[in-house]
């Protein structure tokens, strides 16, 4: 019987297998080096300094919370004045344009309980929602 001959293709396949094996061993060694298991809890902490930067050292100056920091300012319940700039009769919704800020505020029949008409002057309260400003209360002038 004759010996099997090493062809160029077989040599290349063997080289690729050897290269993949070496790369796999290198990745394994790298994972073992960067492994966090067994480290002390303090070594894994990250701190935020007074400027918002992340560091591995605890802050030197400790911030003390004051009661005033936790209190939010109350928003005044004030009426705004505006005019109905758009109204869709089929969908029963529309927009009121604020006279001061020139912002459009959304309203619909379900919110108000009555129908408004285009160019009607109104006094309203609004609140912010996911979609934008929305009317909570309307008084027709």
**Does the global pTM surpass 0.75?**
no
Kindly provide the b/e burial profile for residues 118-138, where b requires at least 16 CB atoms within 10 angstroms of the residue's own CB: eebebebebeeeeeebebeeb
Q: Which tens digit of pLDDT belongs to each residue from 61-108?
A: 777 777 877 776 555 578 899 999 999 988 889 999 999 989 999 998
pLDDT of residue 133: 85
Q: Which tens digit of pLDDT belongs to each residue from 4-60?
A: 677 888 899 999 999 999 999 999 998 888 776 767 777 778 888 777 888 888 877
The span from the CA of 103 to the CA of 96, in Å, is 8
């Amino acid at each position: 019987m004759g010996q099997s001959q090493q062809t160029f293709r077989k040599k290349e396949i063997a080289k690729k297998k050897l290269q993949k094996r070496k790369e796999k061993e290198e990745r394994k060694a790298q994972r073992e080096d960067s492994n966090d298991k067994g480290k002390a809890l303090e070594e894994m902490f990250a701190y935020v300094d007074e400027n918002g930067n992340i560091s591995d050292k605890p802050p030197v100056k400790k911030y003390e919370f004051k009661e005033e920091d936790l209190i939010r300012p109350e928003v005044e319940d004030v009426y705004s004045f505006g005019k109905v700039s758009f109204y869709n009769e089929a969908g029963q919704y529309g927009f009121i344009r604020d006279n001061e800020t020139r912002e459009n505020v959304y309203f619909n029949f379900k919110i108000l309980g009555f129908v408004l008409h285009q160019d009607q002057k109104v006094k309203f309260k609004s609140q912010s929602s996911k979609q934008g400003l929305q009317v909570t209360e309307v008084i027709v002038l």
